[in-house]
Structure 1
Amino acid sequence: MAIKLGKTKDSRTRKKKVTEDAELELLQRLQNEKDQPEFIKYLLQKGYSIKSSERYLKDIERYKKWLNKENITEAAASYNDITHYIQSKKGTVKQITIQTVLASLKQYYNYLQELGFVAENPTVNVQIKGIKRKVLHNILTKQELEKIYFDYKNLESESLSKKRNEIIVSLLVYQGLNTNDIQNLVIKDVKLREGKIFIKGSRRSNERTLKLEAHQILDFMEYQLKTRETILQETNKQTDLFFVTQGSSLKLQNVMQKLMQQLHKQNKQVESVKQIRASVITGWLKVYNLREVQYFAGHRYVSSTENYLINDLEDLKEDINKYHPIA
């Protein structure tokens, strides 16, 4: 009888997954590579992935061939030239692919502008009709966010869970934290003497240290010294987690779910933690530059932060009046 040999454990695991450190090391090597195209280095430094950078480069190489054919230089290319090139793609590729090509061109001209090769980016006002701009959430203003916090804070309740949840709501509204950020906070991350809070990084986010509002510090202090200790004693728990539940679990899923239901009951505009976070990030973008907001939000790539730019409804209204879509 023939014996069928299967794969051994060694053969199955011989090909190791690329670790996060290895990816970062590869990015660094590519950025320093002497023969690496400068445009690739530019994109990598901007936080784009290797795959996206290579795709952008291919788009630009095709664009350059078209320019040569039309006897146009990069520096001389105008808005009309860009729209003509984009229109030449119609009927041969999908609209979403055309949108990607336009994104490549926009980044390339940003790159040329930084180098001083062009005075203006000719792609700025070019838009593709038929591509829906994705508004991530129903964005709340800073005033609406603060109303959510103070409405909850002013509820007539002295319960332990209410005092704990006040702190959670403040972190949603002022620091734009998500559920995982809140869940993973430990005592040492809250630096009350400095008036700051440290948020650990993860596979999908960067670590950062954020400033607490002055009124948050006193509330944090009361929670840490009184409310938290009382909950620990009542539940016989021993944990370094900053937020503790009154049930048997250490996880905050049920707490967050009930809290969001309560916030929605108070204010019908409240939809989710993601909506509140998106609103905070969108508000930051009106005050701080892109890189600063990337840090505050913990985004690994600046492209993630750029996604929130489309949430600004005022900008969307300006788009309607200012931009000339391609039919």
Structure 2
Amino acid sequence: MENGFGAYLKSEKLKDTTIEQHVRQVRYFLCWLADSYLLLAEVGQPEILRYIDCLWSEGRTAGQINRALLSLRYWFGYLNKTGSVQGNPASGLRVKGAVRSIPTGLLEKNELDHLYDSYTAKDDRTHRNKTILGLLVYQALTLEELETLRPENLKLREGKITIPETTNNAGRTLDLKPFQILDLQEYLLVIRPRIQQRSERLFTGRNDLEDLKNTLLHLCHALRRINPKVKHATQIRQSVITEWLKEKGLRQVQYMAGHRYVSSTERYLTTNLEDLRDALNKHHPLK
């Protein structure tokens, strides 16, 4: 088990010490399976919940249990890749005390499209904001990524945009919608030179400030008048990623979202999410 699984974890660019921890966690789980007279092929979410109960009974903390669940997600990801099993019964499971939680209060695709279509560009500032909105709604960019973009990241003839690697996310190249190409071209050639003189970034805030926090704050305030459900730019990103997963494969969405680890993408999976929440809230409430 160690050699194949270890090589898989290396391909995920994990450190040697982290790999050792994951292998140790999986070995412990396999021992529990044997003691429970369970076969690997029989493991589903109910069995994982039983395993969580076992860890609770041993006095494990929420953080320790969540690290064990992360190891199992990697393990079942490896088994999926080798064709040994299908599905990942540990996917989306996270108990109270975890840093991350399952995203809630998300917008649906038609609501995201409506935000973009309904936001009116009345002047240079709102034209810039609508261009930014397009990158939120259709490419799910983060604040950090928006502040990192340069004009050379736009490949308008190819209909693509290259997102540089940031502290939190991996770099990637994404397709642009046809109407985005027109908006970006007008912004780049006409609007940007009028509102931006000093910075080399693609977007800046008021008075050529490179920080876009206030820009997104004002944008979301305007979007809330279109749809009161809008909270912040992070919610929009979470909504887009969730919608992508309804149509695309997990690994493809991981790349598109810039997630370094597939576990970051898995928490957006909505299959049987309500049943899962009920089961977890009964014994192991999510944060």
| TM-score of Structure 1 vs Structure 2, range by shorter chain | 0.7 to 0.9
Q: Does structure 2 retain, via aligned residues, the 8 Å contact 1:95–1:130?
A: no
> Aligned in 2, Cα 1:140/1:125: closer, same or farther, shift over 3 Å?
closer
Q: 1:37 matched to which residue of 2?
A: 3
CA distance in 2, matches of 1:179, 1:252: 7
Structure 1 length normalisation: TM-score? 0.71
CA contact (8 A) 1:106 1:121 kept: no
Equivalent position amino acid for 2:7 in 1: K
Q: Does 1:278 align with 2:266?
A: no
User: Does 126-135 or 175-184 show the bigger shift?
Assistant: 126-135
Which position in structure 1 is the counterpart of 2:119? 152
8 Å contact kept, 1:260–1:272: yes
Q: Give 1:316's aligned residue.
A: 273
- Residue 266 (structure 1) aligned with residue 233 (structure 2): no
Inter-CA distance 129–168: structure 2 relative to 1 (3 Å threshold): closer
* Distance change (3 Å), C-alpha of 1:55 and 1:160: same
Cα distance, 1:122 vs structure 2? 9.6
Residues 250 and 102 (structure 1), Cα distance of their counterparts in 2 relative to 1, 3 Å cut: closer
Per the alignment, residue 263 of structure 2 pairs with 303
Q: For the structure 1 residues 265 and 114, does the alpha-carbon distance in structure 2 shift closer, same or farther, using more than 3 Å as the test?
A: closer
* Distance change (3 Å), C-alpha of 1:84 and 1:304: closer
Aligned to 1:182, the other structure's residue is in SS state helix
Partner of 1:292: 252
Cα separation, 2, equivalents of 1:125 and 1:298: 19
Q: Deviations over 1:5-37 (max 9, x none)?
A: xxxxxxxxxxxxxxxxxxxxxxxxxxxxxx963
Distance 1:258 1:43, change over 3 A: same
Inter-partner Cα distance in structure 2 for 1:112 and 1:272:
37
5+ residue gaps, structure 2, are: none
Specify the alignment match of 1:162 in structure 2.
126
Does the aligned pair in 1 maintain the 2:77–2:88 contact within 8 Å?
no
Unaligned regions of 5+ residues in structure 1, if any?
1-34
Matched positions, count:
280
User: 1:263–1:270: 8 Å Cα contact kept in structure 2?
Assistant: yes
SS at match of 1:136: coil
* Counterpart check, 1:140 vs 2:107: yes
Residue 56 of structure 1 and its aligned partner are, at CA, apart by 2.6
Q: Shift in Å at residue 238 of structure 1?
A: 3.2
- Given candidates 188, 203, 214, the residue that maps to 1:254 is 214
Residues 179 and 127 (structure 1 numbering): CA distance in 2 closer, same or farther, change over 3 Å? closer
In structure 2, the partner of 1:207 is: 171
**Conserved 8 A contact 2:195-2:208:** no
The structure with more radius of gyration: 1
Relative distance call for 1:322 and 1:219 in structure 2 (3 A) is same
Contact 1:177 1:277 in 2 (8 A): yes
* Stretch moving more, 50-59 or 292-301: 50-59
Quick check: 1:186 aligned with 2:153?
no
Amino acid paired to 1:149: Y
- Structure 1 contact 189–197 (Cα < 8 Å) conserved: yes
RMSD value, Cα: 3.6
- Output the CA distance in 2 between the equivalents of 1:176 and 1:210: 10
1:66–1:243: structure 2 CA closer, same or farther, 3 Å change rule? closer
Note the alpha carbon deviations across 1:89-129, whole angstroms, 9 max, x for none: 4422236344554554454355445545x556795799799
Residue 84 of structure 1: CA displacement? Answer: 6.3
- 3-state DSSP of counterpart to 2:267: helix
Check 1:269–1:51 CA distance in 2 against 1; reply closer, same or farther (3 A cut): farther
TM-superposition CA deviations, 1:155-188 (whole Å, max 9, x none): 6x2x111111110111111111111211221111
Contact 2:92-2:268 within 8 A present in 1 as well:
no
Q: TM-score, normalised by structure 2?
A: 0.79
Deviating beyond 6 angstroms after TM superposition, the runs of 4 or more aligned structure 1 residues are 79-84, 124-133, 320-323
Query: Secondary structure of the residue that 1:37 maps to in structure 2?
Result: helix
Matched with 1:108 is 75
Report the alpha carbon displacement of residue 247 of structure 1 after superposing the two structures with TM: 1.2
